[in-house]
Amino acid sequence: MTFTEGGAAALEAMEEGPFDVLISDMRMPGIDGPTLLGIVQEKYPQTVRIVLSGQADVEACMKVATVAHQFLTKPCDSALIKDVVTRACNLRDLLDQDHLRGAIGRIRSLLAVPEVYRALTVALADPEVSLDIVATIVEQDAGISLKILQLVNSSFFGLAREVDGIRAATSYLGTSMIQNIALSVEMFQSTALAKLPANYSVADEQNHSLLTARIARKIAPSPSMADQAFLAGMLHDVGWQILATNMPEQFEPDSVDLIAPGESEGDRQAFHAELGAYLLGLWGMSYPVVEAVANHHHPARVESTEFGLPGIVHVADALAAEACKELEIGGRTRPEPLDMDYLESVGLVSELAAWRSIAREEAAPGAGDEAAA
């Protein structure tokens, strides 16, 4: 570890060698915390950026929302700092290529679907809007959902447990804070400026993710898993958005650049999943959700005899694509084969017919309109 007094000294130290993690205060003479983290984001994007500050107010939280991976507040137990640093370093094992970690390190937020962003801003402009309506709109977009959960689970809010449900997060934050988040992360503007591959549609990908999330919530084996299943389903394909917005030349699912000698088609499919899981882990998502995103194409990699989150998202992902193809309603065209050996191992092959019926019901036009109303 290296300790420095102030942002300028930190930058001098970083010029001498690579650092895995940077922990910075907010208020410092000369270069303050947000400015320092912004410089590090541009010059050393592979470095994980953490704020540790006693300046715990809304304005401070918003200032670092786009440049810090995590926000810790003073006083902070040393064991928590160790856990956060250890987890950040362990995540490096998911990706062994510096240029990929660098690309993720530059990400400020995920793109938002323009229509969803507009609907959210219109709803928040109504002083009498209900939190249920706001939550229903937020649930339609992975980028906005993830940013809200990243902030609500930071130690800035001091919650006793992690929040994995959008409705719980929305209820806790309130409409005023959500409005601040929506405005500060500027996701709508970034959508307009992004140079996306011709074969990538933010709306199509979000529609697929939302359908996967709704199916996952319905097939979760217990009500206690429903919110986590919805969230993991909503975020399972964020890796494709990372590729499309930061490495468009590698976005093609068949791109030979995504596969190393000796690797298989399964390795190519796992690539975007691990890319997304890496980002979610950096942003402080709960381990079960990160694990589900990383393994949703290969749930058997998680050694368990239970039908857990990786399996739930795997099934929901495949059945979402299958239902859209069967109903000829467009959207996701990439095939998502079911791992029948895995389903046999957890004794749930007999549930497929009922799950397919749920998927068709959720995919049918207008299926989500009732909640939105």
Q: Is the pLDDT of residue 193 over 50?
A: no
Tokens (6 digits) for 287: 């381990």
Q: Is the pLDDT of residue 178 over 80?
A: no
Greater confidence, 89 or 366?
89
Strand ranges (E), the chain? 21-24, 48-53, 70-73
pLDDT of residue 126: 84
**What are the DSSP calls for 275-294, one per residue?**
HHHHHHHHTT--HHHHHHHH
**Pairing between β-strand 21-24 and β-strand 70-73 as defined by DSSP bridges:** unpaired
- Model confidence at 188, pLDDT cuts 50, 70, 90, reads very low
Tokens (6 digits) for 189: 């503007």
pLDDT of residue 370: 45
- Mean pLDDT rounded to a whole number for the chain: 78
Contact 293, 171 (CB under 8 A): no
pLDDT of residue 245: 72
Q: Is the pLDDT of residue 263 over 50?
A: no
Per-residue pLDDT reduced to its tens digit, 2-48: 999 999 999 999 999 889 899 999 888 889 888 999 899 888 888 88
Q: Is the pLDDT of residue 211 over 70?
A: yes
| Cα of 112 vs its chain's centroid, Å | 12
Contact 271, 258 (CB under 8 A): yes
Q: Hey, where are the domains in the chain?
A: 7-94, 114-191, 194-368
CATH assignment, 7-94: 3.40.50.2300
Q: Is the pLDDT of residue 210 over 80?
A: yes
194-368: CATH class: mainly alpha
Residue 305 CB contacts under 8 Å (≥ 6 apart), including other chains: 345, 346
CA-based nearest residue to 276, from 205, 334, 340: 205
Average pLDDT over residues 228-234: 89
Per-residue pLDDT reduced to its tens digit, 236-261: 988 887 777 766 666 555 443 444 44
Average pLDDT over residues 107-114: 62
Q: Is the pLDDT of residue 192 over 80?
A: no
Helix axes 166-184, 114-124, angle to 10 degrees: 100
pLDDT of residue 250: 60
- The alpha carbon dihedral of 21, 25, 29, 34 has a sign of positive
Across the strands, what pairs with 223? none
Per-residue pLDDT reduced to its tens digit, 295-307: 899 898 887 778 9
**CA–CA distance from 360 to each of 173, 320, 357 (Å)?**
34, 8, 5
